[in-house]
Amino acid sequence: MTALVSGAHIDDFVIACANRQVLDGFCARLLNAFEGTYEGALQHYLGCEVTRDKEKGTTYLSQTHYAEKFLRTYNFWNATPRLTPMQPITRLNKDDCDKNPAPDFYRRYRGIVGSLGYLVTMTRPDLAWAYSELSKCVQFPGKNHMLAAEHNLRYLRGTWNPTLRYSRDSHKNPNVLWGWVDADWAGDTDTCRPHGIHFHDEWWTHFLEKSTTRKRVSFYF
């Protein structure tokens, strides 16, 4: 049996299969049942450029055009870059919130955070922590939140063009699952809970990166 893998976002589909005949047959039946078009080999999807070399077995994912457009939209293309996604020892909390932010300020902050989300979920796991922190107070952003968001844009300006590379020889053993986890001590100043992050990947993709506050502060093994 040959497996088909399909990813969908609204009306855009990405379909993958190791057997060309099976893939073509599935696409034909799909387009026979629903109105749509077949765009051929994947080159661009939701702001992400995809470059493949079948002979070498490599795939490159990049969001350079999206990142540049993002930075230009918020007038940070000519900004001075920063070395870190967040200012060291930055802790955003409820005391920084503005219960009645100006409409323009509010829309700008939400736009920045929303645009960062597309980068985080596709090619930029290095922005995940900052994105998580900035998302906490997206309903009532204050001055410190905006400063942190703009610091992140400066970091993005200095790292706007990285590329993820996947290849057949990425790992000697393709069936090994790797995982990392870490946490601080009562890092969330609003709840006094530790903030932990865990990241897992396999040879073909990074499939989970998540940061969250932990209800427990002690663990027993």
Number of domains in the chain: 3
Mean of pLDDT values over 199-215: 46
Model confidence at 121: pLDDT above 80: yes
Q: What's the confidence (pLDDT) of residue 125?
A: 85
pLDDT band at 105 (very low <50, low <70, confident <90, very high): very high
Residues 74 and 160 in one domain: yes
pTM of the model: 0.75
Residues 158 and 119 in one domain: yes
Residues 88 and 154 in one domain: yes
Residues 40 and 70 in one domain: no
Gap between the Cα atoms of 79 and 73, Å rounded: 12
Last residue of one domain, picked from the residues 123, 144, 164: 164
pLDDT band at 145 (very low <50, low <70, confident <90, very high): very high
Q: Which residue segment(s) compose the domain that 39 sits in?
A: 4-61
Model confidence at 151: pLDDT above 90: yes
Mean of pLDDT values over 10-18: 85
Q: Report yes or no on 218 lying in a domain.
A: no
